[in-house]
Amino acid sequence: MTADTGQLERNLGFLEAMTLGGGTMIGAGIFILPGLAAEGAGPASSVSFLIAGFVALLAALSLAELATGMPVAGGSYHYVNRALGGVFGSIVGWGMWTGLMFASAFYMIGFGQYIVGPLPFLDGRALIVLLGVLGLFLIVGINYYGTDESSGAQNVMIGVELIIVLVYVALGVFFVDPANLKEFAPTGPTGIVATTGTVFVTYLGFEIIATVAGEIERPGKLIPLTMVLSVVSVTLLYVVIMIVSTGVVPYQELGGSLVPVSDVASISMFGGIGVAAVTFAAAVAAISSSNSSILAASRVIFAMGRDSLMSERLNVTHDRFNTPHRAIITTGAVTGGLILLGLQVGEIVALLAQVASFSFLVTYALVHVAVVVFRGADPDEYDPEFKLPRLMYPTVPILGIVTAVVVVSQMRAPVIVVGFGVIVLGVVWYAVYARDRAFEEGVADEAVEGLLDELPDFLPGSTPTETAEETYTIVVPVANPETQHGLLRLAAASARAHADKESPELVAMNVIEAEETSRRNVESDRIDHQHALLENVHEITDGMDVDVRTRSLVEPEIGEAIVRVAGEEDADQVLTGWNGTLARDDYVFGKTLDTVLSEAPCDASLAEIRSDTVGRPVALAGPGPHSPKAAQRAVEFATVQETTPVLLNVQPPAPDGESDPVRRGHEAVAWVADRAGIDREEYEVKVVVDEDTESAILDAVDEFETICVGLSEKSDRSRILFGSIAERISQRETGNVVVVRGAEREGEVPDTPGETVARQDDA
């Protein structure tokens, strides 16, 4: 049985991603925004859409790079949090959540307006608000009980809606009166930019694709494709719609209308039939857009909870329906409150749209910053499939930030006040709630370091010797939480032993074994593992007085990944765990460990951790090319509890009394110690004389808590034999067993103590 951990399926294909992203974008906005836009900029509002579309396209490009680099739930929030740390994470998380709530309320008021519009006996703002709340109630209800992706109902609804919109455009073209377009930009450039701030709400649709990035098939391909495609096609559609709408109905009239598209349709689409069709499409659009917003909001809340920036209680899923019902109810309640504000505030629709735009403009600006930070820091886990091409980087992020700031600066005072209120909320939330809980640190610091490394000559005070300092690096693959502590402790001891010449450094790594398949979400596993790593490794090594870094990888072969990392880090040693048994098939220690032992370009140690303490280590100072390394490790490990290690040698009794076996043993140990560069006062010697070497070793090591054994490498056969001694030791012992292999140096023939040993001074 393979007893894998649970896999996460990627179920959303091209069509689903387009319905979520594009559907939301052409959704509600198309029916409400033409009125607001015409009021703000006349026929030139089509230019506003072009500008908004351009700003969105820049954001979509940056977001696509980040989303393919880290395709997991949470969208922009996750990337900003990873790049810039908890404060900005909190700002963007809250900004996205509230932005989605404002947008949802905006859609639902539009829903009310379109229902009330064609029915003459229904009238008044109270009714609009009431219908909006009822519609929202319906959506929250559906989401509470949960829906199934495979029904396809949403695809059909949005398909019908799209057809109605296209018919509207196609027929409308014939009714355009050029006289209506004569006064193209009545409010001038400032009006156009200000209107951009209103219509930008449309473009939070592609963000929804990013929030469900963890569920999209072939994320490397589909995420950039659907994001860019939806932004471009929706922008073109809106531009045409604005020209048609303001061409058919004069912008002054259109601007005053609550149901602008119905007004146009009553002229161009056969009167009543057109109005009915548009009303139907508007209702569908509002509901599907609002629905998508709620889906996206619960993903953001989940992602925040994952980083301890939000209470996990909000993320508990329903026992029976498996929906995040608390998050959905909370989102729905706040959205309902915003809709009810419509009773008091006259311009509620524009205000809701603009606040949502503000939040997402701020979010996208920070996304651009995040791209720059990730490029600068270049953490190992960041390997986006879609990368901004050379010509676009850093132009896209810089232009994106500048344009977002320009659009925000033209917004009305109350919007800016509310928008900044949300930012302050994020900061305060972080300071009061999250700071002590969240452990995620941004990679921004690394990015700054990266830049400093690149530009040492230009920066005063950074001396090249600092960066060029020698480090003794040990790569520690960690996987098992129970033995992690023991491994790191041994590694830290081993690294610190070199502190006089080189600065000690540990690289804790974890590999998720997976092929890069398109349908399975290994990214999410990666995040879970990474968090466990970050939390535990840093906790454990705190106070061990070594530099610690962590690396998290997804590779098909664990052993090869370890070897590769050891090479990249220019490691001096790899210290990995071992379960104490030998493989029964073609492998000696198992596929992974065999790869590490045979290919790692440095010392390699396999440690079976079974004791909480290191105690007094013993090394088998017998023949074999790696005995000196084993002795060296024993000396290093002894520093943990400041004991003196024992070097053990077993000799057979003298066959014909030619030389004293005890003396031979001492000579052999001295030879090993000399090869390892260990001074005489650093170890004690124990020599056992026995016929049966193996059982003598087993008896002698019984009292020790940590046993270091050099790997025998004379032939495949003896390797296996030797492995079996190590295995037998590990079966009998309760303590730790470390199998040691030194770095292979070319041209150095592994030799054994011979006659030359005699010249060792036995001080």
What are the residues binding another protein (CB under 8 A)? 1-9, 11-12, 72-73, 143, 146-152, 155-156, 212, 214-215, 294-295, 298-299, 302, 306, 315-317, 321-324, 328, 477, 479-480, 510-513, 519-521, 524, 528, 558, 576-579, 581-587, 589-593
Looking at the Cβ atoms of 22 and 419, the one nearer to another protein is 22
Looking at the Cβ atoms of 298 and 706, the one nearer to another protein is 298
Say which residue the tokens 């060029």 belong to: 468
Residue type, 518: S
Copy the structure tokens of residue 91. Answer: 């700002």
Min separation Cβ 562 and another protein, Å: 9
Q: Name the burial class of residue 703, with classes exposed (0-12), middle (13-18) and buried (19+) by CB atoms within 10 angstroms of its CB.
A: exposed
Residue-wise burial string across 730-750, b where 16 or more C-beta atoms lie within 10 A, e elsewhere? beebebbbbbbbbebeeeeee
Copy the structure tokens of residue 607. Answer: 């440690």
Say whether the peptide bond before residue 394 is cis (omega within 30 degrees of 0).
yes
Looking at the Cβ atoms of 215 and 569, the one nearer to another protein is 215
Looking at the Cβ atoms of 146 and 376, the one nearer to another protein is 146
Q: Name the burial class of residue 233, with classes exposed (0-12), middle (13-18) and buried (19+) by CB atoms within 10 angstroms of its CB.
A: middle
Min separation Cβ 472 and another protein, Å: 24
Min separation Cβ 119 and another protein, Å: 32
Min separation Cβ 325 and another protein, Å: 9
Min separation Cβ 157 and another protein, Å: 12
Cα–Cα–Cα angle for 362, 407, 207, rounded to 5 degrees = 45
Residues 6+ apart with CB under 8 A from 675: 627, 628
**Side-by-side strand order, sheet with 573-577:** 547-555, 503-513, 471-477, 573-577, 603-608, 736-741, 706-710, 617-620, 646-651, 684-689
Backbone angles phi, psi at 648, to 5 degrees: -105, 135
Looking at the Cβ atoms of 212 and 277, the one nearer to another protein is 212
Looking at the Cβ atoms of 277 and 593, the one nearer to another protein is 593
Min separation Cβ 704 and another protein, Å: 23
Query: What's the CA gap between 618 and 223, in Å, rounded?
Result: 56
Looking at the Cβ atoms of 148 and 656, the one nearer to another protein is 148
Min separation Cβ 502 and another protein, Å: 28
Residue-wise burial string across 238-275, b where 16 or more C-beta atoms lie within 10 A, e elsewhere? bbbbbbbbbbbbbbeebbebbbbbbbbbbebbeeeebb
Min separation Cβ 304 and another protein, Å: 12
Query: What's the CA gap between 165 and 277, in Å, rounded?
Result: 9
**CA 367 to centroid of chain Cα atoms:** 14
Looking at the Cβ atoms of 15 and 451, the one nearer to another protein is 15
Looking at the Cβ atoms of 156 and 405, the one nearer to another protein is 156
Q: Name the burial class of residue 288, with classes exposed (0-12), middle (13-18) and buried (19+) by CB atoms within 10 angstroms of its CB.
A: buried
Looking at the Cβ atoms of 577 and 624, the one nearer to another protein is 577
Query: What's the CA gap between 382 and 371, in Å, rounded?
Result: 11
Residue type, 211: T
Looking at the Cβ atoms of 264 and 533, the one nearer to another protein is 533
Q: Which residues pair with 507 in a beta bridge?
A: 475, 549
Looking at the Cβ atoms of 125 and 485, the one nearer to another protein is 485
Taking only Cα atoms into account, the Rg of the chain, rounded to an integer number of angstroms, comes to 34
> Which of 514, 60, 10, 462 lies closest to 216 in space, CA to CA?
10
> Which of 258, 233, 254 lies closest to 245 in space, CA to CA?
254
Min separation Cβ 709 and another protein, Å: 17
Min separation Cβ 306 and another protein, Å: 8
Min separation Cβ 734 and another protein, Å: 20
Instruction: Please check whether residue 225 is in contact with residue 217, taking contact to mean a CB–CB distance below 8 angstroms.
Output: no
Min separation Cβ 117 and another protein, Å: 31
Min separation Cβ 2 and another protein, Å: 6
Q: Which helix (H) or strand (E) holds 47?
A: helix 45-69
Q: Name the burial class of residue 302, with classes exposed (0-12), middle (13-18) and buried (19+) by CB atoms within 10 angstroms of its CB.
A: buried
Query: What's the CA gap between 262 and 257, in Å, rounded?
Result: 9
Instruction: Please check whether residue 532 is in contact with residue 481, taking contact to mean a CB–CB distance below 8 angstroms.
Output: yes
Looking at the Cβ atoms of 394 and 481, the one nearer to another protein is 481
Looking at the Cβ atoms of 536 and 579, the one nearer to another protein is 579
Min separation Cβ 583 and another protein, Å: 3
Min separation Cβ 140 and another protein, Å: 11
SS3 12: strand
> What is the pairing mode between strands 736-741 and 603-608?
antiparallel
Looking at the Cβ atoms of 107 and 238, the one nearer to another protein is 107
Copy the structure tokens of residue 42. Answer: 């006349």
